[in-house]
Amino acid sequence: MSLSDITVPRRRSRRRREDSKLVDHVDRLGEEHPPIPLESVDYTMKRPRLLAERFGSVLAYMTRVELEVERNVLELNILLPDPPEVDRRFYADVWMPQETRHGLILDQMQELAGIEAHEPNLTDVDFRLKLLGALGKVPGVQDISRMLYYLTGLATERSAVLAYNKLHSGLLELGERAIAATVVAPIKRQEPGHFAYYQMAAQELWGQLSGWQRWLTRGLRKRTFDVVGAYNKLQRTQFGDVMHALDISRGGEDDLREYAQKVGRAEYELMFAHRRGLRVPDYVFKALRRSAELAAERKGEAWPAAERTGS
């Protein structure tokens, strides 16, 4: 018996166990976290004008991003012409119903608060995704597309968890306990399960990629990374407004770099752990910094703001 006769079955057995874990996780998400019942939401707001002033930019941005999940699924159907069944079940049967319900609830909340909505794009798919989807029929390419999908999911869900936590705290500070408890709290409870799925799937797939696939994945990730929900300059600027409203970027580069580490930690540990001294992929911090700069520029300010010096 050769060494390959021993190692190949072991690898297949390990892969089956990992796939089983993903299936079990998706089943639990569907059973334990169904879409939030609309009748459970209490939209009572004590000071809607103040809420809109403090967090209008946050709610408008989050609402658009949540609603655009409908288009994201269209993109995935193009990007991954032959996905694993567990991926399809996750994004079509669990993730999309949960996220679109988040969007509907947030949309109603922002309307009641008098917040001007950001128009969601529900149908237009970027040409680059169509091209990558067409290339997915080439052996080895769809695995790279899947890896990029998981990495994007990791950063997106981590950003969402951090943002919803800060929004929840901010609403409590304003005394808006009803919407904090029945809108934001249920939403933020569902996001970590999505993050966990992407993390497990990414770890499994990364171990299966060849050297050239890993090299190309790193390169494409570096060139295509953007802040969550941003596809143009205006949306990058709006994300800068979100970071400012949630006190993510007000402390300057040190605070923003700490936030970047939280957003990019999972993919750093997966793809760049072999590089000593690197605490976060530089492309994550640069994208966040650019959004902060754009938001400040629109107000006629500089970012980070110059510190006042004593006389």
- Residue 262 CA to residue 155 CA, distance in Å, equals 9
- Under DSSP, the state recorded for 46 is S
Helices (H), 68-176: 69-79, 85-88, 96-112, 127-135, 141-173
pLDDT at residue 2 in the model:
42
Q: Where are the domains of the chain?
A: 17-209, 225-306
CATH number for the segment(s) 17-209: 1.20.1260
The whole-number average pLDDT for the span 98-122 is: 96
Residues 112-133: tens digit of each pLDDT: 999 999 999 999 888 888 888 8
Residues of the chain with pLDDT > 90: what percent? 76
Q: Indicate the pLDDT class of residue 281, thresholds 50, 70 and 90.
A: confident
Residues 123-180: tens digit of each pLDDT: 988 888 888 888 877 888 999 999 999 999 999 999 999 999 999 999 999 999 999 9
State whether residue 147 is helix, strand or coil.
Answer: helix
Residues 75-94: tens digit of each pLDDT: 999 988 888 999 999 999 99
The whole-number average pLDDT for the span 282-299 is: 95
- Under DSSP, the state recorded for 40 is G
The whole-number average pLDDT for the span 263-272 is: 91
The whole-number average pLDDT for the span 37-58 is: 97
Residues of the chain with pLDDT > 70: what percent? 90
The whole-number average pLDDT for the span 225-253 is: 95
Work out the widest C-alpha separation in the chain, in whole angstroms: 82
- Under DSSP, the state recorded for 124 is P
pLDDT of 219 above 60: yes
247 closest CA partner among 167, 180, 158: 167
- Residue 64 CA to residue 107 CA, distance in Å, equals 8
pLDDT at residue 274 in the model:
63
What is the rounded average pLDDT for all residues in the chain?
89
- Residue 163 CA to residue 248 CA, distance in Å, equals 9
259, 162 Cβ separation under 8 angstroms: yes
- Residue 161 CA to residue 195 CA, distance in Å, equals 9
- Residue 260 CA to residue 279 CA, distance in Å, equals 10
Residues ≥6 apart with Cβ < 8 Å to 22: 86, 90, 197, 200, 201, 204
Look up the pTM and report it: 0.88
pLDDT at residue 11 in the model:
43
242, 163 Cβ separation under 8 angstroms: yes
